[in-house]
Structure 1
């Protein structure tokens, strides 16, 4: 790409007058820079920039000013790296004619789970750097999906939004908090691993898949990352589903909490519930149970061992806790009978 064009796309300032006028690929790691590449310095590190230049980078994008550096490189200064990456994403999505779907967080998790390989749509996840790498590597007319509404408006304003509700309410039977039976396309799905709260959003997603000929299967439908139940013993050892009166419920998306808390307490007025938040988070919605804050997963588990509860709704991904929750083993004693 022409350096002049790229500077205009990202609204940068070219601080040098390089003898070259174009670059090859865009790279984020100095170790992967090839001769003729453009290096995007996401860490504001002159050391990283020097490494990239030594590897043969023709151009550098950074928030740092040009100070006695290589006069022959194209030093492109930008005001913020976040806005720069957003502009790169928006330009690339348009230039490659990429399709982008906007789903709810719950639909996003289920869509990744139920799509049949080879998957038509790929999940756009991670931080802005990860997303930019993914989009830069995409082929023409590839398809992606994400749940971040604010980001989608900036990088893909023409993204198609998937509905989360149906014109006709679905036939639904809830079994406790975590299992549901429902009908879709005249087929009855019995006691599926999905909270009743999420069923309508799932069915709206299935309706979209059917109307767009996207292959999927519900044969292995499982709990998604949202409102994920983890049954534990009183010592917080992992137990099989439904075999304990204590459940840790993991929710990585803080914005879903008001809805989930309402759902939790609507199931029973007598339950003992805890809301567990990382110490930097605070809530401003009604919660009828006790709230505790934690610094680390280990810290929270220590606190939970001293609490009496039925459900502990934890604002975190279960992956951070799973290594700490050992599976409970039972020893069978020999019997004479």
Structure 2
């Protein structure tokens, strides 16, 4: 990677007069720096170690004490934005096939084994860089515009969606599904039937693009997360109580999940705890909705209400404190 290209793309300022003009790699951890690396200094305190390990350049956006003038000290306005511009430019030659999808489909793809020429990407710009930079030419990339800036890519297409059902549900509860796909039986997957339509589209996408895949399991999707509790809101092992608090951090899914619970658990006492910001956006006619302004209010609301299922939007399951006996099981389940 040439120094002059980095400066042109990032609009960075070179604050030294180095003799070097090319970097061998871009590195984020000082322990991984090798002679010739450009070190991206999210933490300025790590710069001395990076220099000791042979960094030829340092890119930074925070006040930094510069040392060796033979090192290329590159000051940029904001590191994430600078990296996005660099990555966007250097991905051009890779001719990637990029597809956009919703967050659930993206997270489901992380539960499926695929070849190295397929990549699902989300996270910080550093995470995105480390996933995309090593990709081979013409690899396939799946991302969600809700989680990753779409401007990172020159162009992208929408996920190719299934036109007919290829998954047959054999048995289901609210939080587990046994199903058949392509003559393979997947028994008691930790996957709510709520996710099956999303999985349908994902597997069709793989099939259509001839991407080999193997389902690993669905234990950590990060959506519609059930936590079984007792009357004191102590976390219990999966399936061992009749009170379940369901957490959904992604607010855009709440209306769909309300409809799902209403259809699949019409017999149950269900309450919905939603942030006050959603008050004006909800469909009129939904009953048993409680609004909270601060996450601290959620525990009090759950303690004062009788329910079988409580759908809690916009917070993490960490607001409930697991008992010692259930902590290990909860880590395995979620």
Q: TM-score normalized by structure 1?
A: 0.75
Output the CA distance in 2 between the equivalents of 1:327 and 1:50: 44
Partner residue in 2 for 1:39: 39
Asked whether 1:5 is paired with 2:10, we answer no
Partner residue in 1 for 2:61: 63
- Determine which of 233, 242, 248 is the counterpart of 1:251: 248
Partner residue in 2 for 1:232: 229
Partner residue in 1 for 2:118: 121
Asked whether 1:103 is paired with 2:98, we answer no
Residue 312 of structure 1: how far off its partner (Å): 2.2
Whether contact under 8 Å (1:265, 1:271) holds in the other structure is no
Output the CA distance in 2 between the equivalents of 1:123 and 1:240: 29
Whether contact under 8 Å (1:165, 1:200) holds in the other structure is no
Q: CA deviation digits over 1:219-255, x for unaligned, max 9?
A: 95668432132333334342443x5331121223233
Partner SS, residue 278 of structure 2:
coil
Output the CA distance in 1 between the equivalents of 2:54 and 2:157: 41
Q: CA deviation digits over 1:28-60, x for unaligned, max 9?
A: 2233322221111224x3x43344334332212
Name the CA shift for 1:215/1:307 in 2 (closer, same or farther; >3 Å): same
Output the CA distance in 1 between the equivalents of 2:116 and 2:320: 29
Asked whether 1:200 is paired with 2:178, we answer no
Asked whether 1:291 is paired with 2:286, we answer no
Q: Please list every run of 5 or more consecutive structure 2 residues that lacks an aligned counterpart in the other structure.
A: 328-334
What is the number of residues matched between the two proteins? 319
Residue 138 of structure 1: how far off its partner (Å): 3.6
Asked whether 1:93 is paired with 2:91, we answer yes
* Map 1:92-171 → 2, pairs under 5 A: 92-115=90-113, 118=115, 121-149=118-146, 151-164=148-161, 166=163
Name the CA shift for 1:102/1:321 in 2 (closer, same or farther; >3 Å): farther
Partner SS, residue 151 of structure 1:
coil
Output the CA distance in 2 between the equivalents of 1:51 and 1:223: 36
Partner SS, residue 261 of structure 1:
helix
Partner residue in 2 for 1:212: 209
Q: TM-score normalized by structure 2?
A: 0.75
* Larger displacement relative to structure 2 (10-19 or 138-147): 138-147
Q: How well do the aligned residues superpose, as a CA RMSD in angstroms?
A: 3.9
Name the CA shift for 1:249/1:150 in 2 (closer, same or farther; >3 Å): closer
Q: CA deviation digits over 1:169-189, x for unaligned, max 9?
A: 988799664456877668898
Q: CA deviation digits over 1:120-145, x for unaligned, max 9?
A: 52332332222222223444444443
Partner residue in 2 for 1:18: 18
Output the CA distance in 2 between the equivalents of 1:301 and 1:56: 52
Name the CA shift for 1:320/1:295 in 2 (closer, same or farther; >3 Å): closer
Q: CA deviation digits over 1:68-104, x for unaligned, max 9?
A: 6433222212112221121133233323344433222
Name the CA shift for 1:137/1:165 in 2 (closer, same or farther; >3 Å): closer
Partner residue in 1 for 2:30: 30
Name the CA shift for 1:173/1:275 in 2 (closer, same or farther; >3 Å): farther
Partner residue in 2 for 1:334: none
